[in-house]
Amino acid sequence: MPFNINEFRSKMPGDGARPNLFEVRMVVPFFGVEEFTFKCKSAQIPGETIGVVTVPYFGREVKFAGNRTFADWTVTVINDEDFSIRKGFERWMERINGHIDNKRDLAYVTPASYVGQATVLQYRKDGISPFALQYNFKDIFCTDISAIDLDWGSNDAIEEFTVNFSYSYWTSTSNIGNDQATATANATQQPARRAPNQIDVGNR
């Protein structure tokens, strides 16, 4: 029945998922998981895209399902005075392709050696369930770090920057009610690669 507020509320038994109840975990060799989790201010639950194959037929367009693609993923990070997270991302990109010599670090020659894993957890308001939904990004690597604007007039503010990632695919796990179903975003389930070993890369 239209214009019935009680009927509308009855369709929202969870009172709506909240965009500020989340955390991001990232396993990469350049900074700690917990350190990044506390400084990651914003992220996204990934979308999905399946292409379309269009075949002309007698003046009409017949459409068939095409291939799946995965858009890049972006996070916003709060910058502390030690610049630890930003320096970690800079070192990550430096090892993939050097600033001066245009070479890749010998320890990061293979794809498995320079990718990491990331997880977005969407929490419920009751705080009882571990999470409502979990998205796992597989074979992730950093492709862009944004500039940080400096301004003498920027009072009462903390620096932030965004980081862009590419990845192979994502999977999701539901923890809503008794549903423990796992959905995968690729046709073939693949085992998760182990993250690269922690190494001492020193300061740039």
Q: Could you read off the pLDDT of 56-101 as tens digits, one per residue?
A: 999 999 999 999 999 999 999 999 999 999 999 999 999 999 999 9
> What's the pLDDT band for 4 if we cut at 50, 70, 90?
confident
pLDDT at 10: 87
Per the prediction, the chain carries an average pLDDT of: 85
pLDDT at 176: 65
The verdict on pTM exceeding 0.85 is no
Q: Are 139 and 193 in contact (CB under 8 A)?
A: yes
Q: Are 168 and 138 in contact (CB under 8 A)?
A: yes
The Cα–Cα gap between 92 and 105 comes to 10
The amino acid sitting at 166 is S
**In this structure, which topology does domain 16-45+78-184 adopt according to CATH?**
Pnp Oxidase; Chain A (2.30.110)
Contacts 24+ apart (CB under 8 A), 48-53: 48/185
pLDDT at 30: 81
| Nearest by Cα to 87 from 161, 195, 25 | 161
> What's the pLDDT band for 193 if we cut at 50, 70, 90?
very low
* Residue 87: Cβ within 10 Å count: 15
